[in-house]
Amino acid sequence: MVPSSPPSERHLVLVGMMGSGKTSVGRLVARRLGRAFLDSDEQVEARTGRTVREIFEVDGEATFRALEADVLADALARPEPAVIAAAGGVVLDADNRRRLRDQATVVWLHAEPEVLAARVRSGDHRPLLTHDPLAVLERMETARAPLYREVADHVVDTGGAPVDELVESVLEVAR
């Protein structure tokens, strides 16, 4: 059996749907823990010099998913434990799920689609939410909830709570 490192020495990864607060919460959690903060979408954009929307529109979703998997693998390979906001779709890929289970402490920021739809903005990194975001988020919740559950060591039900409360909840469960 491969010995697993204590939670404090592992990467802390936030997963969950678009609008669940992974980036804003993750950034503050990283600051509190004195760790580097990495955001999957920002890394894809920095690496390619293109927006997520451009990649979806020009090259298609499969190309984006491959880039998403690469940046996740690279983030998890960093020796210093970091806080990572993983893009909402990383759990769709079985290798990504295995990496998350093996290499990180994973917190699922869970919120109902209605809460997410009220909060989320489409923007340049969310081409999938351009039309009828609530319907899209409802379909995603059905398809992805079991996958988030599969990788999560902890679940934080956000219920639309303010960011600073969520930061405390994440620090509490991931201690």
Q: Which of 13, 14, 18, 75 binds ligand S3P (CB under 6 A)?
A: 18
Q: Which residue minimizes CB distance to ligand S3P? A: 88
DSSP alpha helix (H) spans, 10-162: 22-33, 40-48, 52-59, 61-77, 94-103, 113-119, 133-151
Distance between CA atoms of 148 and 140, rounded to whole angstroms?
A: 11
Local structure of 41: helix, strand or coil:
helix
Residue 26 found at the interface with ligand S3P (CB under 6 A): no
CB of 86 to ligand S3P, least distance (A): 8
Q: Which of 126, 152, 170, 174 binds ligand S3P (CB under 6 A)?
A: 126
Rank residues 9 and 95 by Cβ distance to ligand S3P and give the closer one: 95
Q: Which of 7, 36, 93, 128 binds ligand S3P (CB under 6 A)?
A: 128
Return the amino acid letter for 10. Answer: R
Length of the chain: 175
Spatial CA neighbour of 21 closest among 126, 109, 131:
109
Distances (CA, A) of 14 to 3, 38, 48, 51, 145: 23, 10, 23, 21, 14
Rank residues 97 and 125 by Cβ distance to ligand S3P and give the closer one: 125
Q: Which of 30, 52, 91, 167 binds ligand S3P (CB under 6 A)?
A: 52
Q: How many residues bind ligand S3P (CB under 6 A)?
A: 11
Rule CB under 6 A: which of 53-92 touch ligand S3P?
87-89
Using CB under 6 A as the criterion, which residues of the chain lie in contact with ligand S3P when the complex forms? Answer: 18, 22, 41, 52, 87-89, 125-128
